[in-house]
Amino acid sequence: MQLAYSNDRLASRMAVDSSASGEPEVESSVIEWLLHDDQVMRECFIHAAEILKSVTGAAITAITLLDEEYQHYRAEVGMSMPLVTRARSLADYAVRDAELFVIEDAHDDSRFRECMLVKRYPFVRFYAAIALRAPNGEIVGALCAMDPSPGKLDAGQRGVFYHLRAMIENDLKMRTATAIDPLTQLYNRRFLLETIARRWKEAQEGEVMGSVVVDVDWFKQYNDTYGHPAGDHCLRAVASVMQAAADGERIVVGRMGGEEFGLLVLRAESADLADTLNALRQGVEDLAIEHRASPLGVVTVSVGASLTRITESPRPAHRDGFASADSALYRSKHRGRNLVTMA
C-alpha cells in the first residue's frame, strides 16, 4: 500500500446484539466518536445542558454517555462530575424507560441506595433524565438534571426534556451521516483524518503517539473467490475486531477505504502497543473466516505501526508518523503477511 499526501492531509488508496433486557447495545463507534469530543456535538451538548438548567432550576445538568462499563459525563453545568460504573449509575435506570424518567426523592426508593451519586457527593435526591439514541435506535446516553434536594417537574419542564432530546438526536443524525462509514460502522476516512490531525495538534510535548495502518491480506482474491457480498461481510467482521481493540478514549480507529484501516493511539507505549496490535491480528485470525485464495487458509491482516514523541521544536507532523507506519506495513507483507511490524 502506498500513501500520498496533499494539502497536509493524509491520503490513501486506502452487528448489534441484544442485552438481557432486550435493549440494543450501544453502537461503539458512535460512543467512541462522542467520547473523543466531536466539536459540533460538544457545543450542542453544552447548549442543551445550559437550557435545561435554566428551565428546571436543578443544581446540575449534563449529558451522560453510556458504554458497556461506564457512565461518562459531557457538558456538565453546575459541577464537574466523576466517571462512575454504569451498574452504579442513575442513567442506567433512566435509559430503560422509553419516556422521561423522574426520581422525586432517591431516599424513598431502595433501588438507588447504592448509586454513586446518591451515596456520595453531590448526594443527589432529585433526578430526571431522558434517553438519547443514535439514528439506528441504539442508546448512547441521556440528558439529565439532578439536585441534592427533592424536587418535581411541571408539564412545561417535562416538555423541555423532549424538545431538547429531539434537538440533540437531530444533530446526531446529521453528524453521524458525515462521520461514520456505513459498511463497517467505524469512522469514515474523512472524519478519521480530521480527528487524527486535531488530536495530534492537541497532544502535549512529551506525549507519544502511535500511528497504525492495517490491511486485510489478499482481499482482492477473497472478493474474486467469494463475491462482493461476502467481502462486505468479511470487512464488517474485521472492523468489529478493530473496534474491540480500540481502548475507550485512547485509540481512534477508522476505515481508510477498501480493505485498509487506520488507528491513532494516544499516549502510546511500545510494549503495550505491540501487545494490542498482536491481539488485534490474532483476533482477526481467530474469526476463522475461510479464504481459499490465501496460503494461510483464513482471512488475516497485516499491520504496520510507528511511535512518535511530540516535541515543540520542531513539532513532528502526523503524516510522517503514518508514512513510517506504512513502511512497516510493507515489511509485514514482504515477510509473509499476518504479522505486526513496528517501525
Which tens digits make up the pLDDT trace of 192-219?
Answer: 988 898 899 999 999 999 999 999 999 9
User: pLDDT, tens digit, for every residue of 37-63?
Assistant: 567 788 899 999 999 999 999 999 999
| Rg value, the chain, Cα | 22
3-state helix, strand, coil in the chain (%, to 5): 40, 25, 35
pTM of the complete model? 0.61
CATH number at residue 165: 3.30.450.40
What average pLDDT score do residues 117-132 get?
Answer: 95
User: pLDDT, tens digit, for every residue of 66-91?
Assistant: 988 889 999 999 998 888 899 989 99
Residues of the chain with pLDDT > 70, as a percent, come to 89
CB environment 125-138: b (16+ within 10 A), e (fewer): bbbbbbbbbbbeeb
198 and 139 belong to one structural domain: no
What values do phi and psi take at 147, rounded to 5? -155, 145
What is the span of the domain harbouring residue 332?
182-342
The reported pLDDT for the residue numbered 63 is: 96
70 and 113 belong to one structural domain: yes
All three cell numbers of 291: 479464504
143 and 205 belong to one structural domain: no
| Average pLDDT of the residues of the chain | 87
75 and 119 belong to one structural domain: yes
172 and 44 belong to one structural domain: yes
Count of domains observed in the chain: 2
213 and 169 belong to one structural domain: no
Is the residue at 298 inside a domain?
yes
Looking at 139, 163, 179, the residue that finishes a domain is 179
What values do phi and psi take at 80, rounded to 5? -80, 130
193 and 317 belong to one structural domain: yes
